[in-house]
Each structure stands twice: as C-alpha cells, then as structure tokens.
Amino acid sequence: MTFRTLTRPLAGGAAMATAIAALGVPAAPAATALPVESHRPSTTAPVVIGHRGASGYRPEHTLASYRLAIRLGADYVEPDLVSTKDGVLVARHENEISGTTDVAQHPEFADRRTTKTIDGRPVTGWFTEDFTLAELKTLRAVERLPLVRPDNTRYDGMFEVPTLDEVLALVRQEERRTGRRIGVYPETKHPSYFDGLGLSLEEPLVAALRRHGLDRAGAGVFIQSFETANLRDLAQVTRVPLVQLVDASGAPYDLARAGDPRTYRDLTTPAGLAWIATYADGVGAHKDLVLPRDAVTGATGEPSDLVPDAHDAGLLVHVWTLRDENQFMATNFRRGADPNAKGDGYAEATAFLDAGVDGIFSDHPDTTVMALEDWLAAADRSA
C-alpha cells in the first residue's frame, strides 16, 4: 500500500473564512499545522476496517477478535479506548462494561454498580474508571449481542479485556507473520467525560503510539472521535491522520456542552467539511449519510453529496458500520424476514464502494474484503 503526503490546511483565507462564516460560528484558531501522511492510497483503493475486530464472529474488542479480523483480510483493526482508574487505556466500546464483560458475576465488585451521567445521559452499571487494570484483568469478555449472535456466546469467559499496548503488540506480531502492513484505527470514547475525571485519553494514546514507533507519517494509524475539541488538540501533537466521526443524528457532545448549535448534519455540509479539514484528514460517516434510506420503503436510493463534497474538501470518507445481519441493513439488502438471518452483505458493500467511499468499517470483514476484491477486479477489467 502506498501513501501520499497531505498537509492539514490552516484556518484562514477568503475561501475558508466564507465557509466558516456560513456556519455562523468563529473559525478555529490558525495554530501551527503539522504535515501528516494521508492514508488515502495513491491508487485510491478503499480499505477495510475490522470494526471492534471481527465482532461478527468473536466477542468484540478482544485480541481474538482483532486477530481474526486480520486473518480475514482487514487492512485495519479498530480498538475503542477508555481508561482504567489507574490511567491505562483499554479496549471497550463503552466505559460501562456490564454488557461486554462478566462483571455482574463477580460478587466482589457488586458495590461498584452505580449510575453516572455520561455525555449528558444517565447510565447505570459498572465503569472501567472505577477499576484498576489489575482488577479489570480478572474479568472476562462476553458477547454483547447474544440474541443476534448466539454462536459467539461459545467464547464467553475465554478472553481478557486487552490494553492498547497489547493490541499494538498483536498488530506488530501479525505484521511479522503475514508480511503485510496492518493498520490500527483507535477511537477515543467520551473524551470530555474522561478529561473531567483527570483521565485524559489523548496523552496516553499518543504516548503508546510513540512507544511502538507509530507516531509518525505513514505509520498505518488513524485516530477518530465523535467529539471535535480533542481532535483539534491532537492535530497539534501527532502526525497521524485524524478522522471526525459524524452520526446521522445528534451533535458532538463537546460542541453541545459549549453551546455551539452545530449538529453532525451541519458538519457534513460543504461549509462544515471545510471546517473539519482545518484539523482532520477524513470523516467517519454513518452509512445512512452516504446512502440515505427511503422513509417509506427503508431501501437505499441514490448516494448523497457527502462523498464528493468531502473529497472536494480534501477529506477521506470511511463509512460505518456494515453488518451481515438483516436488521442492520436497508431493506433492499435483506434476505427473508428473520432479522437475525444473514442478508446480502456483499451487495451492500459493493453499493458503498460504487458510491466512492475510501473505507468501510465491517463487523464481518471477510464479506467486505470479498466485495472489495471483486470490485477492484471489475474496475481493472473496465479500465
């Protein structure tokens, strides 16, 4: 895989000022921009990201899930990052862990069940920030969606909660085994919340990348977040590409907390994308933003303008998340009426590739890899 150099644009200039003014908010400060190496391949070949590993086949965010994603052909694996009480970054989709570990079966931790306010919402359960790493290592992972993926429950109780360092070590090991570049795509979860606890995620993340020789241009790393302020801060201290996640509804929590009226939808307008381009290298878009569904039939129609608009702003577009089960698909990709049955994930992946995306997050990376290989072969034949 080859890479081209991309320099983050600075805020400022007539065109940028016009774009920012259209949003009705001040432009980001024109701080020193770092040259970064974009992971947009010069061949424009899209990439496949193992979403929480190969979470369609193994309990998510386990070393077994990441290892399988790599062996199924994923170009990147995605560890979501939260902090322990003693400041160690571990891979969990949420800091509340009752649905992804066996913590409820540990009577010694029963008194740690509590309710907290996370990003403005009350959440009840057990939280990583209330456990030391040593305590967390006594827990075991379980399947988060047992009714949807009952086959995965056979692995309940087998795997530990991995640290970021363990994930990075696994990737290096798999690179040596396979002889190919394997990327890492960490997401910082609830960064404002963890900042408020004195457990900032960004500093230990960058430190871990540096320990493993990955805080450099072309290292095979993306960092992503649903918030904006932490990405803007990271843009000043790391050379790896940054990706602004955008959902189909709602708003970045840090903007909402600051009284900024912009929503995720606002950030996908040309003006919003121009602002994102001042600090990030790509957008990680909810798939419905790229292939909108008909409100009546639930089927996808023509692609939106998001991909070409993002490309015009110099941004990559990675979509999330493709899953093979019917219930997670638009109606035109489903097979039969059983929501847990496998739909046509191959056709869904192909539709997003046809829409021009630069990468796809997938719970079933083998399906997406197969679609990508065939799509590239068809493109070569028609060239």
Query: How is the chain split into domains, by residue range?
Result: 7-24+36-95+165-382
Q: In which band, very low, low, confident or very high, does the pLDDT at 102 lie, cut at 50, 70 and 90?
A: very high
Q: Sign of dihedral through CA atoms 67, 72, 78, 80?
A: negative
Note the helical H segments in the chain. Answer: 14-23, 63-71, 133-136, 164-178, 191-196, 202-211, 229-234, 253-257, 264-267, 270-276, 287-290, 306-312, 345-354, 365-382
Q: Helix 202-211 to helix 164-178 angle, to the nearest 10 degrees? A: 30
pLDDT at site 115: 98
pLDDT at site 8: 34
CB-based contacts of 377, cutoff 8 Å, min separation 6: none
pTM above 0.85, yes or no: yes
8 A C-beta contact, residue 93 and residue 118 = no
Q: How far apart are CA 14 and CA 239, in angstroms?
A: 27
pLDDT at site 217: 81
Mean pLDDT of the chain: 90
pLDDT in tens, 193-220: 999 999 999 999 999 999 999 999 889 9
pLDDT at site 48: 98
Buried b (16+ CB within 10 A) or exposed e, 40-61: beeeebbbbbbbbbbbbbbbbb
- Give me the CATH code for the 7-24+36-95+165-382 domain, please: 3.20.20.190
Average pLDDT for residues 101-116, to the nearest whole number? 98
DSSP secondary structure, 235-249, as one string: TTT--S-EEEEE-SS
pLDDT at site 44: 63
Query: For strand 316-322 and strand 282-286, is the pairing parallel, antiparallel, or unpaired?
Result: parallel
Average pLDDT for residues 144-164, to the nearest whole number? 98
Rounded to 5 degrees, what angle do the CA atoms 275, 276, 282 make? 150
Question: Is-catalytic flag, 93?
Answer: yes
* Residue 6 pLDDT exceeds 50: no
Q: Which two tokens stand for residue 350?
A: 């192909």
Q: Helix 365-382 to helix 345-354 angle, to the nearest 10 degrees? A: 50
Pick the catalytic residue: 93, 190, 318, 364? 93
Q: Helix 63-71 to helix 164-178 angle, to the nearest 10 degrees? A: 30
- Percent with pLDDT over 90 in the chain: 86
8 A C-beta contact, residue 291 and residue 303 = yes
8 A C-beta contact, residue 357 and residue 319 = yes
Pick the catalytic residue: 39, 51, 190, 364? 51
- Rounded to 5 degrees, φ, ψ at 201 are -90, -30
8 A C-beta contact, residue 45 and residue 338 = no
pLDDT in tens, 282-307: 999 999 999 999 999 999 999 999 99
Q: Which residues pair with 122 in a beta bridge?
A: 117
* Residue 277 pLDDT exceeds 90: yes
Average pLDDT for residues 111-117, to the nearest whole number? 98
